[in-house]
């Protein structure tokens, strides 16, 4: 849905707006970040999953509706859970029960960085240097 025209101007948040308009919004963000620790997808795949939502849903959903819907699709498409498991949240046993991210472990997991973190071992090969442009090699 990115790059579309005709959807109107972006309405930036007011300085007085709360970070999350609904209580579940913060939980949607937390669950999305926590499932990133499963290392089944990266940031680009997560964004792509949101952009691949059906246009009718994409236009009707709030920001966090898009996040949680795309996350559900990722979890099922990557085989982390089945569609049946997703639709039956009351199960007593769950395949992820051994892979829980406990509250006590969150700081350590987040401190390890995200899939977007990359180590840089090569020097910069383009840009300005001593007032002259270098070309890519």
The pLDDT tens digits of the residues spanning 56-106 come to 999 899 999 999 999 999 999 998 888 888 787 676 555 555 667 777 887
Domain assignment present for residue 56? The answer is: yes
- Number of structural domains, the chain? 1
Q: How far apart are CA 27 and CA 33, in angstroms?
A: 10
Q: Is the pLDDT of residue 15 over 70?
A: no
Better pLDDT: 18 or 31: 31
The domain in which residue 62 lies consists of 41-91
Instruction: Tell me whether residue 8 is in a domain.
Output: no
- Residues 5, 136: Cα–Cα separation, whole Å: 34
Residue 114 domain flag = no
H or E stretch including 69?
A: helix 63-77
Asked if residue 63 belongs to a domain, the reply is yes
Structural domain contains residue 96: no
Give the whole-number percent of the chain exceeding pLDDT 90.
23
For residue 99, being part of any structural domain is answered with no
In degrees and rounded to multiples of 5, residue 89 shows phi and psi of: -75, -5
Res 108 pLDDT > 90: no
Considering the domain boundaries, does residue 107 fall inside one? no
Total residue length of the chain: 137
Kind plus residue range of the DSSP H or E element containing 56: helix 55-60
Within a domain: 125:
no
């Amino acid at each position: 849905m990115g790059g579309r025209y005709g959807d109107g101007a972006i309405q930036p948040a007011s300085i007085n707006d709360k970070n999350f308009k609904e209580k579940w919004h913060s939980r949607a963000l937390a669950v999305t970040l926590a499932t990133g620790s499963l290392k089944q997808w990266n940031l680009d795949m997560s964004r792509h999953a949101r952009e691949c939502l059906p246009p009718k849903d994409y236009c009707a959903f709030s920001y966090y509706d898009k996040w949680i819907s795309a996350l559900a699709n990722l979890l099922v498409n990557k085989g982390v859970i089945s569609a049946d498991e997703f639709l039956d949240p009351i199960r007593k046993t769950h395949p992820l029960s051994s892979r829980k991210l406990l509250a006590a472990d969150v700081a350590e997991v987040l401190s390890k960085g995200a899939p977007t973190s990359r180590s840089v071992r090569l020097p910069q090969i383009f840009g300005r240097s001593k007032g002259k442009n270098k070309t890519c090699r």
